[in-house]
Structure 1
């Protein structure tokens, strides 16, 4: 595929609008063929350069086209760099900016001013634990240490050595994280029981990092994020819960959280809230969500925007399983209508959850309407969201169409569903999905099967093979719909009884 087009296709709509304004910043150009090329790449699915050249030039000019591509590529790099700086909450961009300013001032022989901003960049880098940047700062300080405005060289070298050790520890932590990720993946592929503590403890010993784990929340966050990925892949939320709670409480007792590592505190708290929700400990999840929300308002709300969407989505999910899906609908509809720039991935997650909450309320019209609001093909969604997400979306749509009485549509979609996801059925995690779709087909072909006790027992035994206390919440939700059909009761009532 064309590399430039692939990059262009990755840009969300709001970024595309901003990029067009950015490209137009040079007022001296009446024609903007670089912008024309960008629009073509967004709108058309051309494969060969010749197709672009024919649309852009009255007389074909391959050299001009390649120069145009380079110019557009440069615009995109500059735009993304500036956007990254604008969205950077870690102060790294400010440190780099002041460091660049210092270099410029040294070149202009403005030594007093150069040292002023160089020391400011050092202070900010230390405050925000930007140890990799401190190395560059001290190298520049050594280079201009003969200046009358410079501190003693011995002091510079002492600071350089101290923070070099911390930078080295950070590097070892990154290596340890990568190794833990690999080891967890190997265990998962062999379908063995995950022993989080042993795998992580052995790796930390190997890199001499055990003590530093509770001095630097960033290291622990990286390890927890990797462990959580392994847990999500295996749906092993129950092993992860005590592990993350233990480490969060230890960090809290040691009082290591501060402004510099506040992002990591909030990230760990969010993971904790999510695992409690998935383990059906809804009231406990609400308690930690209150702490999480309070944390987003600290330090001048610096992380409020970053975590706001995740907070609302998780709060709505918890409330839906506490019997308040009407509140969940209000929360998500309000979120979709807020004047904030939603990432497309978040918007699609919100819509999928919203469709479920409407279904819980028995509002089939709005539940069905959500499918229209997605606004993308299934192929597009699979690339953007992953096939598991698409599987859940398609399964929910099948059930809605069944409830609407559209048996022909369900028959057609069932065939497509099994064709699209057949390769996933070999994975034990998804094996029950295949059985589930067979039961739906049976319901359509023989509605009287709902009164057949043998059929009900067979369905229950196949779909409830996992111990109840360890059953996945989402699997329980789909099972509860069938259970409600057998019992001829309201789905939402049965769902709430089942998850409790």
Structure 2
């Protein structure tokens, strides 16, 4: 059975009101139950059997299932119509031009047909709609012999050039899909895969050149591929120049908002890359640009990107010594209803980190208490990297709160489940870090000895602050602060600011 409730949950309150108005307009019978069913399904704790009994006085009814099917179709029609009013209106206008032109071509009214096709070509080219352009050129070439006014060689040349662009977009789409599948296997299934080898093998046969002919969709997919690589290897510093240069190339084009969704995605990747490379102020400049793009076209993508924008913005503010503002940003956004569960989980974990850095361990524990699902559930929803960070934060919190039973129970569970995995992916230092944390908990006075400090620094050597992963540094800052006996938040900022 199709989960209609999940579709209804994607509608905000304003969209739900519009849908009810749409059903009122559509209904021919006054006794139609579709509005009643919709309102019942929109409630948080709705149950099909209970709803069926409310509507038909029985727990099972063929009429109820037929009503659900009709409501499903209405939801699909409403969603399609809503999108046609916004982003896809250009596509539909061009398709209408093509259909109309073919009617006139069959009637041998070539002058009007080609004028309409010219309009369609101009719009499709302006919006980088390569598949639709292919149909336009195909139609123009098909009837070129009957209309001598057109230059057949020029049309064939345009068609060939468009096919190259379309092929590039398809090629990037396949590469992106393969790499995303590999990433999912690593991140959500905990598989150990040599990602760099996989990346090199996939890209080996691909000769992709960055130039102004690329669409924002193509650029986004190229940058997403680079971002996936950086995410797995945590080497964001290696992709920064490439990401910025690529965006500058396409931004120099006119009317860059024609593929607004992909442009917002691209700016988000840039802002996140700059944050991971500890260039917080520059990252916030791109966050501002992202916010401005989200406001275009009647805020059509506001809901889609608001959590991602808030997450990166809050992280930047936190490391710019504006933690109060960072916490406020997250606390305001997480109380609202959102469909992006993965980013919502990131926001909760980030809030936990902020409170922990602030040494407000009671509030940090309050956030932690909301993570009541199993590790496996969170791996499937947010990825194994998120789960490991959550576990480490939890263990450090139990140390601070001196909760012996919970600490040793969770520590034993963590080591049993993740030791082999961390060794396989070359992250033994996480295990070393937890060993140091356990030593501190058993004998706090140890951290004040020269021997402890020497061993710690030897175990956590990194090339430069610029290249080291920012989240690894925040965990290390906790141990460093125990040695220095200072303020955790200030110690963290000082460590990350080092040249």
TM-score range, shorter chain: 0.7 to 0.9
Q: Secondary structure at the match of 1:402?
A: helix
Distance 2:41 2:303 in 1: 30
CA RMSD of aligned residues (A): 5.0
Asked whether the equivalents of residues 266 and 295 of structure 1 are also in contact (C-alpha less than 8 Å), the reply is yes
Q: Secondary structure at the match of 2:240?
A: helix
Q: How much has 1:247 moved relative to structure 2? A: 2.7
Q: Secondary structure at the match of 1:129?
A: coil
Tell whether 2:240 aligns with 1:241. yes
Tell whether 2:9 aligns with 1:13. yes
Q: How much has 1:133 moved relative to structure 2? A: 2.1
Match of 1:418 in 2: 415
Tell whether 2:276 aligns with 1:281. no
CA deviation digits over 1:36-70, x for unaligned, max 9?
9x969x97999xxxxxx999999999999997886
CA deviation digits over 1:303-339, x for unaligned, max 9?
555544433321211111111111111222233357x
CA deviation digits over 1:119-143, x for unaligned, max 9?
7655533321112123445667899
Q: Secondary structure at the match of 1:450?
A: helix
Match of 2:225 in 1: 226
Distance 2:339 2:267 in 1: 22
Asked whether the equivalents of residues 371 and 397 of structure 1 are also in contact (C-alpha less than 8 Å), the reply is yes
Match of 2:91 in 1: 95
Decide which of 303, 317, 325 is 2:315's aligned counterpart. 317
Distance 1:80 1:443 in 2: 57
Q: How much has 1:276 moved relative to structure 2? A: 1.7
Decide which of 454, 458, 462 is 2:455's aligned counterpart. 458
Match of 1:479 in 2: 476
Q: How much has 1:479 moved relative to structure 2? A: 1.1
Match of 1:445 in 2: 442
Decide which of 326, 343, 347 is 1:346's aligned counterpart. 343
Aligned length: 477
Contiguous gaps of at least 5 residues in structure 2: 184-191
After superposition, residues 70-469 of structure 1 pair within 5 angstroms as 74=73, 78=77, 81-82=80-81, 85=84, 89=87, 92-96=88-92, 99=95, 122-136=121-135, 155=150, 161=156, 164-177=159-172, 189-190=193-194, 203=205, 205=207, 210=209, 213-218=211-216, 219-252=218-251, 255=253, 258-296=256-294, 306-336=304-334, 341=338, 343-373=340-370, 378-422=375-419, 424-465=421-462, 467-469=464-466
Distance 2:330 2:249 in 1: 34
Q: How much has 1:450 moved relative to structure 2? A: 2.7
Distance 2:297 2:338 in 1: 22
Asked whether the equivalents of residues 221 and 264 of structure 1 are also in contact (C-alpha less than 8 Å), the reply is yes
Distance 2:316 2:433 in 1: 25
Asked whether the equivalents of residues 245 and 272 of structure 1 are also in contact (C-alpha less than 8 Å), the reply is yes
Distance 1:462 1:301 in 2: 49
- Tell me the TM-score normalised to structure 2 length: 0.73
Asked whether the equivalents of residues 176 and 203 of structure 1 are also in contact (C-alpha less than 8 Å), the reply is no
Residues 466-475 or 156-165, more deviating:
156-165
Match of 1:49 in 2: none
Asked whether the equivalents of residues 358 and 366 of structure 1 are also in contact (C-alpha less than 8 Å), the reply is yes
Q: How much has 1:491 moved relative to structure 2? A: 1.0
Q: How much has 1:430 moved relative to structure 2? A: 3.7
Distance 1:16 1:374 in 2: 25
* Cα pair distance change 1:12/1:142, threshold 3 Å: same
Distance 1:261 1:491 in 2: 44
- Tell me the TM-score normalised to structure 1 length: 0.73
Distance 2:430 2:404 in 1: 19
CA deviation digits over 1:458-494, x for unaligned, max 9?
3332233555432110111111112112222211111
Q: How much has 1:240 moved relative to structure 2? A: 0.9
Distance 2:143 2:16 in 1: 39
Distance 1:183 1:412 in 2: 37
Distance 1:462 1:55 in 2: 65
CA deviation digits over 1:75-102, x for unaligned, max 9?
665566456556x64xx35423663698
